[in-house]
Structure 1
């Protein structure tokens, strides 16, 4: 069935709003837009070569997610970076993944558990020569690893909530995959977690998972603080206005 013209227009606008949202979110989390930076809808529309309607949709979505605040007399402003919020999201992620591991170790899991564990073992328990070395690619595989573990636990609401959390921390989690050392550790730690799950060693599997996520979180925090410091120094050396180019 073909969409009529108004429906096609609405779909295009929504797709454009999503692209604008994704770009601005990445700009904020990569500190191309700094906490405190201000801008107008018109500036974003000009930068994105878009009308103000999809821009406004994207900005209000970012406001709901806690990245922006609207100043009705002076446009929009980037909120201060909220480390406490990301700590809370990581804590919730840990709760869900620890429960998933419990179910997998005790056999209280979904019907695809064996298939998923085999799939993950074949991907991660490999010699160094067979490991991927591109950070962006390993990042995507890493997210899939954690999502598949939760999916294998067999609770659709857990899977949905976990996927939502992963989406909300995705851009900042990429910062953990910029050094070769972290890529190697990801392979090693995933393989060890899977080994303990397959052996039914609940305590060991959960401990390894916890250490793995905590190490990643610490690395992300360290890199984020470094990037924020660098961005602030560059901002002091340049114009006092937000960089929207």
Structure 2
């Protein structure tokens, strides 16, 4: 376990402590500094962050509600082990929602084109030299691409559920953009999906979208397994020194 932390300012408000700790721990989980199965105590986090246990506890329970941690009342906290079956189910829900959104968008008359689609065209239908290369930024825009498609369909409950699913799979989905070939592929595939939607080619748009998500899902599973293996190897080779 390799927790990161920074000393706090005595002038910082207590609620800001909890937010900062929450964001730091979430980043530690996403970057595999905290590995699935790792255990730790509130006291360890408080010492590393140089804060009291109260904001630490608030941050930890927030992460538990979001599904990243589980608490053992007699033995501290644990990062939830990766459950790929659960991620598969979340991806299935995501595909169902997005395919329905695309179907609805393609049924609309051309003159009723959504402003969201115009926004997506400006982001994704660009020349190769205009494409972003920063994986983190492309990951954010990729999630926004898929969320906007569902939002544009006009059902707020569909959009809310899709946003919740997107948040839950973000921990592995973002890994798809750690390799430049996948960044280029995302631009190309998003462009094809948009072109099909704008031309009201519903079946083609749905097939392109489903294939795009399935390929990404396979890539992130492979990358996740590799990164977990590498992180565990580093932990074995450089064990943390306790005093």
TM-score past 0.5 threshold: yes
1:108 CA drift (Å): 8.3
Any residues of structure 2 matched to 1:136-215 within 5 Å, and which? 136-215=136-215
1:75 CA drift (Å): 1.6
Q: CA separation in 2, counterparts of 1:139 and 1:88?
A: 21
Q: CA separation in 1, counterparts of 2:74 and 2:141?
A: 44
8 Å contact 1:108–1:153 — kept in the other structure?
Answer: no
Give the equivalent residue in structure 2 for 1:238: 238
Structure 1 gap ranges (5+): 1-10
Give the equivalent residue in structure 2 for 1:5: none
Q: Residues 40 and 224 from structure 1, CA distance in 2 versus in 1: closer, same or farther, beyond 3 angstroms?
A: same
When structure 1 is superposed on structure 2, of 221-230 and 52-61 the one drifting more is 52-61
Structure 2 length as normaliser, TM-score?
A: 0.87
8 Å contact 1:132–1:138 — kept in the other structure?
Answer: yes
Q: CA separation in 1, counterparts of 2:69 and 2:184?
A: 36
Which structure exhibits the higher relative contact order, with contacts defined as CA atoms closer than 8 Å and separated by 6 or more residues? 1
Q: CA separation in 2, counterparts of 1:127 and 1:167?
A: 30
Q: Residues 107 and 241 from structure 1, CA distance in 2 versus in 1: closer, same or farther, beyond 3 angstroms?
A: farther
8 Å contact 1:101–1:197 — kept in the other structure?
Answer: yes
Structure 2 gap ranges (5+): 1-11
Residues 124-181 of structure 1 show CA distances to partners (whole Å, capped at 9, x for unaligned) of: 1122111111111211211111111111101111111111222222232221111111
3-state SS of paired residue (1:200): coil
Q: CA RMSD in A?
A: 2.2
Give the equivalent residue in structure 2 for 1:228: 228
Structure 1 length as normaliser, TM-score?
A: 0.86
1:205 CA drift (Å): 0.3
Any residues of structure 2 matched to 1:14-93 within 5 Å, and which? 14-93=15-94
1:99 maps onto 2:100 in alignment: yes
Query: Number of residues paired by the alignment?
Result: 230
Q: CA separation in 1, counterparts of 2:159 and 2:13?
A: 29
Residues 203-243 of structure 1 show CA distances to partners (whole Å, capped at 9, x for unaligned) of: 1000000011111111111110001111111222232689x
Flag as ranges the 4+ runs of structure 1 deviating above 6 A: none
1:92 CA drift (Å): 1.1
Q: CA separation in 1, counterparts of 2:205 and 2:40?
A: 47
Q: CA separation in 1, counterparts of 2:20 and 2:150?
A: 28
Q: Residues 99 and 19 from structure 1, CA distance in 2 versus in 1: closer, same or farther, beyond 3 angstroms?
A: farther
Q: Residues 63 and 212 from structure 1, CA distance in 2 versus in 1: closer, same or farther, beyond 3 angstroms?
A: same
Q: Residues 83 and 139 from structure 1, CA distance in 2 versus in 1: closer, same or farther, beyond 3 angstroms?
A: same
Q: CA separation in 2, counterparts of 1:153 and 1:52?
A: 44
1:12 CA drift (Å): 4.1
